[in-house]
Structure 1
Amino acid sequence: MPTYEWTAANDGYRSPRSPWRRVQIVIGLGVLACLCVFAVRYMTGAPGDGTPVLDATSYKTNVDCQVNTVGSQGTVTINGTITGDASSYSVTVEVLDAASQQRIGGQTFEVRDTTTFGGTTPAQAPIGPAGIECKITKVGAGQ
């Protein structure tokens, strides 16, 4: 009567389980999870850094800025318009150095019962030779 020995040793008939295979699976699942998060953020329109946050109301904006510097002191005059569905808006304007895209100033305006907004805000100087750039970074609609 033959006797059989059963062992878990690597006898060439089956390969041992490699820990590298488990690492590959974990990395693959991590990449898949990241892709899912990015897809959901893209589909829902979730704002990221530097992305304007806009309410669901319809509106149209325009903004213009002028800079005045004396030595290390600077001021920016902001003038803008907004028209749309809401009776009031909160408009945030950022002032950037055009060459470096560094933020040098900004202001939030509460616009009620009018279509214009504006004011003067301090700005970090010196301003680069390319001048400044103004952006509306956030618009919130009131009731």
Structure 2
Amino acid sequence: MPTHEWATASDGYGSPRRPYRKAQLILGVALLICLAVVVVRQMTGAPGTKNYKTSVDCQVNTVGSQGTVTINGTITGDSTSYSVTVDVLDVASQQRIGGQTFEVRGTNTFSGTTPAEAPIGASGIDCKITKVA
């Protein structure tokens, strides 16, 4: 008869298994796979990933409470075609007052005129590129 008895209530052999370890292992492997996919896509330049640099400038012309905005911009990068969306915002309210999408193919410049949908405030306008595809 042993002098010390080591036992637990659910003793099969050894300590009871912790169920969350399996879930942690599965989650860890899934995260590593996702990270590997992202790294490979970045390294190979997979379709859908475009490197580019943009700039945009806008000028407003108002007559009374109506106005038009002239948009001029450039885009340079590793692709020959882009779809560039530019939003025109009122500086004071940050409300969208106009915008346009440009299909840029075989060149690095885009330009156009769009109507301003609301009276333009005294603070002026701001143009932002909101999407490049």
User: TM-score higher than 0.5 here?
Assistant: yes
Please report how far the alpha carbon of residue 57 of structure 1 lies from its aligned counterpart in structure 2 after TM superposition. 1.0
Percent identity over paired residues = 80
Cα separation, 2, equivalents of 1:131 and 1:56: 34
Please report how far the alpha carbon of residue 125 of structure 1 lies from its aligned counterpart in structure 2 after TM superposition. 3.5
Letter in 1 for 2:123: A
Determine if the alignment matches structure 1 residue 112 to structure 2 residue 105.
Answer: yes
**TM-score, length of structure 1 as denominator length:** 0.59
Q: How does 1:53-68 map to 2 (within 5 A)?
A: 56-68=49-61
Asked whether the 8 Å contact 1:71–1:125 carries over to 2, the reply is no
Partner residue in 1 for 2:78: 85
Cα separation, 2, equivalents of 1:110 and 1:67: 22
Please report how far the alpha carbon of residue 71 of structure 1 lies from its aligned counterpart in structure 2 after TM superposition. 1.1
Please report how far the alpha carbon of residue 88 of structure 1 lies from its aligned counterpart in structure 2 after TM superposition. 0.2
Cα separation, 1, equivalents of 2:119 and 2:131: 26
Partner residue in 1 for 2:38: none
Q: How does 1:1-143 map to 2 (within 5 A)?
A: 56-140=49-133
**TM-score, length of structure 2 as denominator length:** 0.63
Partner residue in 1 for 2:36: none
The runs of 5 or more residues in structure 1 that have no matched partner are: 1-54
Q: How many residues end up aligned between the 2 structures?
A: 87
Cα separation, 2, equivalents of 1:59 and 1:89: 9
Asked whether the 8 Å contact 1:65–1:77 carries over to 2, the reply is yes
The runs of 5 or more residues in structure 2 that have no matched partner are: 1-47
RMSD: 1.4
Asked whether the 8 Å contact 1:66–1:78 carries over to 2, the reply is yes
